[in-house]
Amino acid sequence: MDAILKHLYIDTMNLMQYMPHGLLAACLFFLGQLLCASCTNSHEERYAELDKAVNERNIYIQKKEEGIDNLRQQLTPDISLEAKYHICNRIFEEYLAYKSDSAHKYVSILLDIARAIQKAEYINDAEINRSFLLSTSGVFDKAEAILKRLDKKSFTNANYRHYYESYRWLYITWNAYLRVEENLPEYQDKVLAYSDSMLAVVPPTDVEYHYWLGEHYWNRQEYAEAEKEYTEGIRKMSPLSRRYASITCSMAFVCHEQGKWDEFEKYMILSAIADQKIPLKENLAMQEIASYLTRKNDITRANRYLLCSLEDAIFYNNRLRLTQIARKFPEVVVRYQIHEKNVKHMQTLVIVVVCLLAVLMFVFAYFIWRHNKLLKAQRKIRIQLNKDLNQLNEELQGANLRLKHTNQIREQYVSLFIELCAAYIDKYNKLLKQVERKVKLHQEDDILSVLHQNRLKDTDTKEFFLNFDKAFLTLYPTFIEEFNQLLYPDKQITLKKGEHLSNELRLMALIRLGVKDTQKISTLLLYSPQTIYNYRSSMKNRAIDKENFEKNVESISDILLT
Backbone φ/ψ region at 196: left (φ over 0), alpha (ψ -120 to 50), beta: alpha
Instruction: For 159-168, write each residue's pLDDT tens digit.
Output: 999 999 999 9
Indicate whether 160 belongs to any domain. Answer: yes
Cβ atoms of 107 and 129 closer than 8 Å: yes
Closest CA to 269 of 97, 43, 52: 43
Q: 211 and 69: one domain?
A: yes
Q: 69 and 114: one domain?
A: no
pLDDT bin (cut points 50, 70, 90) of residue 339 is low
Q: Residue 509, class by beta-carbon neighbours within 10 Å (0-12 exposed, 13-18 middle, 19+ buried)?
A: buried
> What span, in angstroms and rounded, lies between the C-alpha atoms of 481 and 559?
14
> What span, in angstroms and rounded, lies between the C-alpha atoms of 230 and 172?
20
Instruction: For 133-159, write each residue's pLDDT tens digit.
Output: 999 888 899 999 999 999 999 999 999
Q: 221 and 284: one domain?
A: yes
| Range name among 169-178, 316-325, 394-403 with the lowest pLDDT average | 316-325
Indicate whether 331 belongs to any domain. Answer: no
Instruction: For 492-509, write each residue's pLDDT tens digit.
Output: 888 887 778 888 888 888
pLDDT bin (cut points 50, 70, 90) of residue 436 is confident
Closest CA to 271 of 254, 257, 258: 254
Q: What residue numbers bound the domain in which 117 lies?
A: 79-201
| Range name among 82-86, 122-126, 278-282 with the lowest pLDDT average | 278-282
Q: Is the pLDDT of residue 72 over 80?
A: yes
- Number of folded domains in the chain? 4
Cβ atoms of 164 and 194 closer than 8 Å: yes
Last residue of a domain, one of 162, 180, 201: 201
Q: 69 and 22: one domain?
A: yes
Last residue of a domain, one of 385, 419, 452: 452
Cβ atoms of 560 and 402 closer than 8 Å: yes
First to last CA, the chain: 115
Backbone φ/ψ region at 393: left (φ over 0), alpha (ψ -120 to 50), beta: alpha
| Range name among 57-66, 233-242, 500-509 with the lowest pLDDT average | 500-509
Indicate whether 90 belongs to any domain. Answer: yes
Indicate whether 273 belongs to any domain. Answer: yes
Share of the chain above pLDDT 90, in %: 38
> What span, in angstroms and rounded, lies between the C-alpha atoms of 237 and 440?
161
Give me the long-range contacts of 426-429 (CB less than 8 A, separation at least 24).
427/454
Q: 466 and 532: one domain?
A: yes
Kindly report the CATH number assigned to the domain that includes residue 282: 1.25.40.10
pLDDT bin (cut points 50, 70, 90) of residue 407 is low
Indicate whether 436 belongs to any domain. Answer: yes
- Looking at residue 211, what is its pLDDT? 94
Which residues on neighbouring strands pair with residue 543, listed in sequence order? 487
Q: What would the mean pLDDT of 383-387 be, rounded to a whole number?
A: 82
The DSSP line for 385-419 is HHHHHHHHHHHHHHHHHHHHHHHHHHHHHHHHHHH
Q: Is the pLDDT of residue 387 over 90?
A: no
| Range name among 62-66, 382-386, 414-418 with the lowest pLDDT average | 414-418
Note if the bond before 529 is cis, omega within 30 degrees: no
pLDDT bin (cut points 50, 70, 90) of residue 424 is low
Q: What would the mean pLDDT of 314-329 be, rounded to a whole number?
A: 71
The DSSP line for 463-512 is HHHHHHHHHHHHH-TTHHHHHHTTB-GGG---PPTT-S--HHHHHHHHHH
Query: What single DSSP character describes residue 38?
Result: T
The DSSP line for 303-348 is HHHHHHHHHHHHHHT-HHHHHHHHHHHHHHHHHHHHHHHHHHHHHH
- Looking at residue 435, what is its pLDDT? 75
Instruction: For 269-316, write each residue's pLDDT tens digit.
Output: 999 999 999 999 888 899 899 889 988 888 888 888 988 988 888 888
Cβ atoms of 248 and 271 closer than 8 Å: yes
Q: Is the pLDDT of residue 418 over 60?
A: no
Q: 377 and 448: one domain?
A: yes
- Looking at residue 19, what is its pLDDT? 42
The residue count of the chain comes to 562
The answer for residues whose C-beta is within 8 angstroms of residue 135's C-beta and 6 or more apart is 143, 166, 169, 170, 173, 174
Q: What would the mean pLDDT of 437-453 be, rounded to a whole number?
A: 71
pLDDT bin (cut points 50, 70, 90) of residue 184 is low
> What span, in angstroms and rounded, lies between the C-alpha atoms of 311 and 209?
33
Q: Is the pLDDT of residue 113 over 60?
A: yes
Q: 31 and 91: one domain?
A: no
363 SS3 class = helix
Mean pLDDT of the chain: 82
Higher pLDDT, 359 or 16: 359
Q: What would the mean pLDDT of 334-346 be, rounded to a whole number?
A: 68
Indicate whether 330 belongs to any domain. Answer: no
Indicate whether 392 belongs to any domain. Answer: yes
- Looking at residue 409, what is its pLDDT? 63
Residue 163 exposure: Cα atoms within 13 Å on the Cβ side: 23
> What span, in angstroms and rounded, lies between the C-alpha atoms of 421 and 554?
26
Q: 33 and 124: one domain?
A: no
Q: 470 and 415: one domain?
A: no
Kindly report the CATH number assigned to the domain that includes residue 111: 1.25.40
240 SS3 class = coil
Four-residue CA torsion sign, 27, 249, 43, 291:
negative
The answer for residues whose C-beta is within 8 angstroms of residue 406's C-beta and 6 or more apart is 559, 560
> What span, in angstroms and rounded, lies between the C-alpha atoms of 29 and 452?
145
Backbone φ/ψ region at 55: left (φ over 0), alpha (ψ -120 to 50), beta: alpha
> What span, in angstroms and rounded, lies between the C-alpha atoms of 509 and 516?
10
| Range name among 72-76, 91-95, 231-235, 368-372 with the lowest pLDDT average | 368-372
Q: What are phi and psi of 487, to 5 degrees?
A: -105, 160
Last residue of a domain, one of 407, 434, 452: 452
| Range name among 5-14, 70-79, 330-339, 539-548 with the lowest pLDDT average | 5-14
Share of the chain above pLDDT 70, in %: 80
Indicate whether 222 belongs to any domain. Answer: yes
Q: 94 and 171: one domain?
A: yes
Q: 236 and 303: one domain?
A: yes
Give me the long-range contacts of 55-63 (CB less than 8 A, separation at least 24).
57/276, 57/279, 57/308, 60/276, 60/277, 60/278, 60/279, 61/279
Q: Is the pLDDT of residue 411 over 80?
A: no
Q: 210 and 62: one domain?
A: yes
> What span, in angstroms and rounded, lies between the C-alpha atoms of 42 and 38?
8
